[in-house]
Amino acid sequence: MLTALLGVAALAVPGQGVAHAAGYDGLIDLAPSNADAEAIGGLDPRLPTDPAVLGTALSSARADGIAPVRYSALLHQYWLARGAEASGIDLATWDPNAGLIANATVVDRVYENYGRYQRERAELYWSGMAGMAGGSFAAGFWDLDMGRTVLDVDAIHALGNSVASSIRGLPAEALSLLPSDVRTLATIGPSITAEDVDWYQKRLLMMQKHIYFDMVPMHEAYLNGGRAAVEEFAAARLLDDNARIAWEGVFSGTKSGYSDALFRMASREQNQIIADQWDTTSAARDGVGRALTYATTVAAQPSVPGSRSAGKAAPLSVTGYIDGRKLRLRAPLPGFNWADRKPRWEYIVSDIAPSYQRLVETRPGEMHAILAMPFRDFVDTQRVVRRIPDLVRDLSTGWELVQAQ
């Protein structure tokens, strides 16, 4: 804490009186109205989006000895605007509700920027993983059918029909063993509409923006202001204990510290920042949310080398009693839905994050080569639609109902 206070003091030397008050009038003591990033623009419409204007106001607040907790929204918006400017994103017009086509370039630049942080600073493991894993996430956005965004409607119909066909081949008594998500995909998947998927993509765009709002400001501050700039975030109460410990790992100069920061920041991203938004998305539209979140869990192939698809990492295997017999049902499907907190985190912590850690620590050249690729080219290698015929075939085989021991 002493280090944090000294770091902030260096950034906030009191000036003479309160001569600069007009520079930040109306920009302190704010509770941001767009903290979840679901609307157009930055954290709050009362805050400017021009980093130069924000920087002037922030300097005035520091010079006048305003407590960092009072200018926390201003500080957050300043580094968010700096990050957006460096990313080539117009913060003022960034609107996830405008849909995919309007945001296609923004989607690219979000992940390119994460990769930039990792390429420029070897210790920033989380940002490299985010940029690389974003390849498979973004690929779904560009799987188009006749100009419609779909994570593709026809592909979802095919997945739903394939699962439904396989279920029809099971003995009637085995249906009780099927998890609800499998039944939902089989019954609702074939009737998913373009409007359903448009809604789902907008939900994903909101989550992407929310992660950016949280992670980019602190990373941009670190890149430009070092430890003292991050400690100002802590003094402004923008970092909780987990985030402070994560940054201590970054400051440590050790691979073990960088690795610890990777897992802590991934946990912040998935278990704090967007966890509620996943809950809301999966529960919406009378089963459509569950069908779409499970369909994309089935179809996704993480773009981090060495990581496995959800169906390979955690295949569906359920056991139950039917007519007094203990039976096990196995299927070539994921045993979880990505939208659910606990299994999503277990998958990340056991597969995707360790795969990235191994890549960055043992094959840094490969990591740099992937992150240096033009992002659209990288995404093209991850397109789900290219794999749909093979995926549908795979889903039609490997179903097994056996006597359990």
- Stronger pLDDT, 308 or 162, i.e. the higher one: 308
pLDDT surpasses 50 at 147: no
Q: Is residue 106 part of a domain?
A: yes
Q: How would you label 288-309 residue by residue, b for 16+ Cβ within 10 Å and e otherwise?
A: bbbbbbbbbbbbbbbbbeebbb
Q: Give the separation between CA 179 and CA 291, rounded to whole angstroms.
A: 12
pLDDT at 154 (0 to 100): 66
Q: How far is CA 303 from CA 104, 235, 273, 346, 380, in A?
A: 19, 36, 22, 18, 11
As a whole number, the mean pLDDT across the chain is 87
160 — pLDDT class (breaks 50, 70, 90): confident
pLDDT above 70 (res 17): no
Q: Is residue 290 part of a domain?
A: yes
370 vs 323, more confident: 370
> Poorest-confidence range of 68-77, 152-161, 185-194, 282-291?
152-161
Nearest to 254 by CA among 127, 117, 123: 123
pLDDT of 85 above 90: yes
Percentage of the chain modeled with pLDDT above 90 = 62
Given a cut of 70, whether residue 365 has pLDDT beyond it is: yes
90: in domain: no
Give me the pLDDT at residue 306, please.
Answer: 93
DSSP 175: G
pLDDT at 157: 74
Total-model pTM: 0.88
pLDDT exceeds cutoff 90 at 232 = yes
Instruction: Note the pLDDT of residue 5.
Output: 37
pLDDT, residue 400, reads 76
Residue 382 pLDDT class (50, 70, 90 cuts):
confident
Cα dihedral sign, 166-169-170-173: positive
Supply the pLDDT for residue 13. 35
Residue 124 included in any domain: yes
Please indicate, yes or no, if residue 268 is contained in any of the structural domains.
yes
Query: For 238-255, what is the mean pLDDT?
Result: 98
Specify the pLDDT at position 318: 86
Which candidate, 290, 284, 291, 319, places its Cα nearest to that of 164? 291
Q: Which helix (H) or strand (E) holds 332?
A: strand 325-334
Q: Residue range 20-46: average pLDDT?
A: 91
List, for residues 296-330, the tens digit of each pLDDT value: 888 878 889 999 888 889 988 888 887 777 888 88
Domain assignment of residue 313, given as a range? 102-156+240-403
Where do the H-state alpha helices sit in 268-374? 275-282, 288-299, 310-313, 341-347, 353-362, 364-372
Cα-to-chain-centroid distance, residue 181: 22
Mean pLDDT throughout 119-128?
97
Specify whether the CB–CB gap between 236 and 77 falls below 8 A: no
Residue corresponding to tokens 């957050």: 76
Q: Are 68 and 25 in contact (CB under 8 A)?
A: no
Question: Is residue 375 one of the residues assigned to a domain?
Answer: yes
| Number of domain units in the chain | 1
Closest CA to 367 of 354, 357, 352, 377: 357
β-bridge partners, 334: 315
Distances in Å between the Cα of 207 and the Cα atoms of 169, 201, 278, 338, 378 are: 38, 10, 8, 14, 21
Residue 385 domain-assigned? Answer: yes
Cα–Cα distance between 236 and 39 in angstroms, integer?
A: 24
Place of tokens 């994921």: 334
Higher per-residue pLDDT: 168 or 281: 281
Q: What is the pLDDT of residue 45?
A: 97
234 within some domain: no
Mean pLDDT of 371-380: 88
